[in-house]
Amino acid sequence: MSRPNHNPAVRKIVLPSGRSIEVVRFDDVAVPAARDLHICPVCACDLVQPYEWAETSEGSWRMTLECPNCAWLESGLYNQLEVEMLEERLDHGVDEMINDLRRLTRANMAVEVDRFVAALAHDLILPEDF
C-alpha cells in the first residue's frame, strides 16, 4: 500500500472505472525568469553585447557578455529564451545602425550637392575639372 501524498500540488482522482490517478500541478514550480541580457546590471546601459559564445550540449549557451559603457563582464550559462531575446535585440540594434548610416549618407550627399550647386552658380566648375 502506498503512503498518502500530502503535497498540495498533487491531487488523487478516482476515475469512473475505479482506477485512480494522481494529477500534478506545475504552476507552483518555480521557473527561472528570463533575464534581459542586453541590459547591464551595473549601469543599466542597454547595449550589452556577447563577447564570445558557444552552444552547450544541453541546449543552453555559454557566453561572455560585456557592457561597452562600464566594461562590466560576465561569463555564464544562459537559456535558449534569454539568448533568443538578446539576438532579437542585437538584430534590432543592427537595423537602427543601418538606418542611422542611411540618414548620415543622405545628409552628407545633400551637403555635397549644395556645394556643387553653389560652385556651378559661381562658375567655379570648369570642363578641366572632369
Per CB under 5 A, the list member of 43, 101, 118, 120 interacting with Zn ion is: 43
Closest approach of Zn ion to the CB of residue 30, in Å: 28
Applying the rule CB under 5 A, the residues between 89 and 108 that interact with Zn ion are none
Q: Does 65 bind Zn ion (CB under 5 A)?
A: no
Paired sense of beta strands 73-78 and 61-66, if any: antiparallel
Buried b / exposed e along 23-34 (16+ C-beta atoms within 10 A): eeeeeeeeeeee
**Which of the ranges 23-31, 44-52, 80-88, 115-123 carries the binding residues for Zn ion, by CB under 5 A?**
44-52
Per CB under 5 A, the list member of 9, 10, 24, 42 interacting with Zn ion is: 42
Q: Does 70 bind Zn ion (CB under 5 A)?
A: yes
Q: Which of 62, 41, 47 is nearest to 94 (CA)?
A: 47
How far is the CA of 57 from the CAs of 60, 62, 118, in angstroms? 7, 10, 64
> Which residues in this chain contact Zn ion in the complex, by CB under 5 A?
40, 42-43, 45, 67, 69-70, 72
